[in-house]
Structure 1
């Protein structure tokens, strides 16, 4: 009896420990999958939409019509079409991994330790995630330089661009940080806050493919809306980050310079917005649908 009782007590100690290990392992996998799904979604998107992004960038930076921007890329040649893709691959994949992963982590943390309404808590979590993403500004900075045809003779690859900026100090890598911060936090809050309500307004999905389509539509609509809303901020960012060395001009002054150069016309300021709208529908549709699909698979 004593030996049986001892064996029973021993098994009671072992089983809970084993269960705890399994639970902890599941929690670890569950926590990490949001980062992995975000990373894979970004990679898929960049590979498909990068040429469109280059046309848009030329429009933002120089105020070109879409036809002229495409002609510029044609003159650059097919060899340069994917020039500058490494920084967005490094930056966007990591950024979206952080965007989705940190949003979930911050949300869980704040929901456990605060008594604020869930909407407020999740909005704060989204803003914190967006602010953290801004740490990767150097990749966005180098991408801008590599996409600008004026720097084609100066830079041959991503690593050289990073090397050229080094003598100017760490601050040079973060040129354009302010508009990025202004963009990231609010756009994240709107994206995560409106994603569920928009999907609920769509026809009910009863099949696997219907869910994918709804996720694509939801992400595309949100991306297009946010792209238009924050378009002027991206125009200012592109101008600031195309400069190497020299004075660090404030975002307000850069905006006024661009406004003057474009004859004070809103239509000129928003050149590239139509392409950005269409690109955002495709881009964020791919991101959201891929993310949700992988989330279900994992």
Structure 2
């Protein structure tokens, strides 16, 4: 990896405005751009699957029932709500990959902590920073919930309507997002290298692409499973407009009781794992491919 190669080189003095500083800035920008393009590709392909998953998270219905809901909504509404994830996910993944590299470089230069700890902290900081974009995730939730189809016309209309409830309303569901982003980033960046090393050695570009897809898909499935209950709580919290802000614990216990206290009912979303494999496979493969090309 680029970051590993940088570790082996002796530290050099880089003066402000020097060619070295400009090259470092270009290298940093590359990670942001690759993350952005990887997210765009993923959203365009997987949005209908994500929408079916959302219905399952929110209402605890089976796969066929979620698909029937989408069929009843019609083709016109299939991509309703895609603008917020395009705006949010592209920016989020650009920040995720770019800030991780920037924070890693900064911490490795200015701290003497073990590299594993330093990179884990960089991943947490990147994930926490991503939470600034919570309003986009909030609007996406409202637009995907059929109960709000007649209330919010589009992304911009939903943003305007939430103004009446105060700024805090845009960040409803922030706690589960923070609980998800930091730890999931640590696992993703920490395990990406070791998993790829366990795969068969790649000798061609296409083989590397396949390995990157498998690596991303495995990580996506694992992280999707681990943090699925957190996303269920987030969906419930963000589907509400106005009223009290209930704690993560209260909302989780409410959902737990509604689903008869059964873990299998809480994790009732097979498309989630399929989508996670496809989604993170696309993201990781696209990101690594673009990183080589740029």
Whether these two folds match at TM > 0.5 is: yes
- Counterpart residue number, 1:284: 280
Give matches, 1:264-275, under 5 Å: 264-272=261-269, 274-275=270-271
Could you tell which deviates more after superposition, 262-271 or 182-191?
262-271
Consecutive unaligned residues in structure 1, runs of 5 or more: 1-19
TM-aligned CA deviation for residue 21 of structure 1:
4.2
Q: How does 1:1-298 map to 2 (within 5 A)?
A: 21-272=18-269, 274-298=270-294
Question: What stretches of structure 2 of length at least 5 have no aligned partner?
Answer: 1-16
For residues 209 and 112 of structure 1, the distance between their equivalents in structure 2, rounded to whole angstroms, comes to 35
Q: Provide TM-score, normalisation by structure 1.
A: 0.92
What is the match of residue 8 of structure 1? Answer: none
Corresponding residue of 1:17: none
Once the two structures are TM-superposed, the CA of residue 236 in structure 1 deviates from its matched residue by: 0.2
Structure 1 segments (4+ residues) deviating >6 Å: none
Superposed CA offset, 1:139-159 (max 9, x none) = 000000000000000111000
Spell out, residue by residue over 1:2-35, the C-alpha distance to the aligned partner (whole angstroms, 9 max, x if none): xxxxxxxxxxxxxxxxxx7433332221110000
Query: SS state of the match for residue 115, structure 1?
Result: coil
Q: Structure 2 length normalisation: TM-score?
A: 0.94
User: In 2, distance between residues paired with 1:265 and 1:222?
Assistant: 26
Count of aligned pairs between the two proteins? 278
Mapped to 2, the partners of 1:236 and 1:22 lie a distance apart of 49
Could you say what secondary structure the match of 1:60 adopts? helix
- Distance in 2, Cα, partners of 1:200 & 1:262: 40
Give the greater-gyration-radius structure (CA): 1
Q: Determine the C-alpha separation between the residues in 2 that align with 1:144 and 1:120.
A: 34
CA distance in 2, matches of 1:184, 1:255: 18
Compute the RMSD of aligned alpha carbons: 0.8
Local SS of the residue matching 2:152:
coil
